[in-house]
């Protein structure tokens, strides 16, 4: 009989549903894993919690997230609420001895993230933060190629995460643009490309940033003539220095008209280059310098069974992984770390490091200067 691990999810929005789908998929895609037992789901709306419980097979639903912490059947708590609630919920779950998965950004500021990290490490609980895009087998391959020297000395990084879901100036004011949740586009989606750059190339030591608010006010409610001033960024542009010595540029933009998931990077080295786009997440493009100039150019590396754990989802190359598959890989690795006592990544410490870069970028833009980390 396969053993179970009790799971609770706080929040039933987009990411709450993604967590539930992933936990449900784990035992089928990874038969060696503990089976997530869907114990409870919490939401500010009791009706919303009940609907999620019915849809995803949770044993119970509640509008009181604190009641989850008293339940001995729950070993794991997934936090998928707005960022301003993360610190309180995570600290309470850690104090109750629960392992914690928290969506990004981990906190509105680095000091809150630091408190969460120190509490988790002191309590010796396993933590994970939702940077699911780096769970792509092809990004793990890219990291290995860089580390092995196949690209030579890295000379440049260019990264962007652009979407258009906040492009319309008539989208009402909400928690997304509330400063109590931290930065705007930089925190919400810039976190991903900042974290991805660290995953691939290592620490960032300096930041020179410019943050811009495109939609300077929004209606207080749908169709309302009353508007509220927006104080967070719609676009963030960062020039960064990596500890390894190379420079890079990073952009976050949630007003990029027409873009749905332009999470992309280009990495150039003395021996080659790599290019990737999340819009074509089953492809990695590789250029090897020094070949025949008549046939030179980028080669497409297509995801397949050679790139583990691709084969856990499909046995044939070209059949494609998707967003929810990456989330399933993420949850499987999290559960394995709990079961075997092995390190997990990215944990609260890595999320704190990423938040330090976000905070440095905010400070750099406000003070019009280069900031050292």
DSSP 174-210: -GGG-GGG--SHHHHTHHHHHHHHHHHH--EEEEEEE
Task: Specify the pairing of strand 127-129 against strand 99-102.
Answer: parallel
The stretch 219-232 carries a mean pLDDT of 97
At the topology level, CATH places domain 4-132 in Rossmann fold (3.40.50)
Give the Cβ contact number of residue 296 at 10 Å: 11
3-class state of residue 234 by DSSP: coil
Helices 323-340 and 14-29: crossing angle in degrees, nearest 10, is: 70
For residues 255 and 199, the answer to whether their CB atoms sit within 8 Å is: no
Convert the pLDDT of each residue in 121-139 to its tens digit. 999 999 999 999 999 999 9
Please report, for the chain, the start and end positions of each structural domain, with discontinuous segments joined by +. Answer: 4-132, 133-372
Percentage of the chain exceeding pLDDT 70: 100
The stretch 278-303 carries a mean pLDDT of 93
Q: How sure is the predictor about 310, in pLDDT bands with cuts at 50, 70 and 90?
A: very high
Q: Say whether pLDDT at 242 is over 80.
A: yes
- Taking the whole predicted model, whether its pTM rises above 0.85 is answered as yes
Convert the pLDDT of each residue in 198-216 to its tens digit. 999 999 999 999 999 999 9
What CATH number does the domain located at 133-372 have? 3.30.360.10
The stretch 225-253 carries a mean pLDDT of 98
Give the residue carrying structure tokens 């038969």. 31
Retrieve residue 254's tokens: 């949630």
Fold matches, 4-132 and 133-372: no
Q: How sure is the predictor about 351, in pLDDT bands with cuts at 50, 70 and 90?
A: very high
Percentage of the chain exceeding pLDDT 90: 98
Convert the pLDDT of each residue in 21-73 to its tens digit. 999 999 999 999 999 999 999 999 999 999 999 999 999 999 999 999 999 99
Of 346, 178, 185, 172, the residue nearest 263 (C-alpha): 185
The stretch 110-118 carries a mean pLDDT of 98
């Amino acid at each position: 009989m396969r053993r179970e691990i009790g799971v609770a999810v706080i929040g039933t929005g987009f990411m709450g549903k993604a967590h539930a789908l992933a936990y449900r998929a784990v035992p089928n895609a990874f038969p060696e894993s503990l089976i997530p037992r869907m114990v409870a789901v919490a939401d500010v709306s009791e009706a919303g919690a009940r609907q999620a419980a019915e849809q995803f097979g949770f044993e119970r639903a509640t509008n009181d997230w604190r009641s989850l912490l008293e339940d001995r059947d729950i070993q794991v708590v997934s936090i998928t609420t707005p960022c301003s609630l993360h610190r309180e919920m995570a600290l309470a779950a850690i104090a109750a001895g629960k392992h914690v998965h928290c969506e990004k950004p981990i906190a509105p500021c680095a000091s809150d993230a630091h408190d969460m990290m120190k509490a988790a490490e002191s309590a010796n609980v396993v933590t994970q933060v939702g940077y699911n895009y780096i769970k792509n087998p092809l990004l793990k391959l890219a990291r290995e190629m860089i580390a092995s020297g196949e690209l030579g000395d890295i000379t440049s990084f260019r990264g962007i995460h652009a979407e258009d879901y906040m492009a319309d100036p008539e989208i009402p004011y909400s928690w997304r643009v509330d400063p109590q949740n931290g930065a705007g586009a930089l925190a919400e989606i810039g976190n991903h490309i900042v974290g991805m750059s660290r995953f691939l190339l290592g620490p960032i030591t300096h930041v020179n940033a410019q943050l811009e608010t495109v939609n300077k006010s929004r209606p207080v409610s749908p169709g309302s003539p009353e508007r509220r001033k927006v104080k967070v960024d719609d676009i963030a542009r960062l020039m960064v220095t990596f500890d390894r010595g190379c420079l890079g540029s990073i952009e976050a933009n949630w007003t990029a008209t027409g873009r749905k998931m332009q999470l992309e990077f280009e990495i150039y080295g003395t021996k080659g280059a790599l290019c990737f786009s999340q819009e074509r997440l089953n492809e990695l493009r590789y250029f090897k310098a020094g070949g025949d100039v008549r046939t030179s150019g980028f080669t497409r590396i297509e995801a397949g069974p050679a790139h583990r754990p691709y084969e856990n989802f499909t046995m044939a190359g070209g059949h494609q992984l998707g967003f929810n598959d990456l989330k399933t890989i993420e949850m499987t690795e999290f559960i394995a770390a709990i079961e075997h006592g092995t390190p997990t990544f990215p944990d609260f410490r890595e999320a704190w490091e990423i938040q330090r870069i976000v905070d440095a970028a905010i400070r750099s833009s406000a003070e019009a200067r280069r900031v050292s980390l």
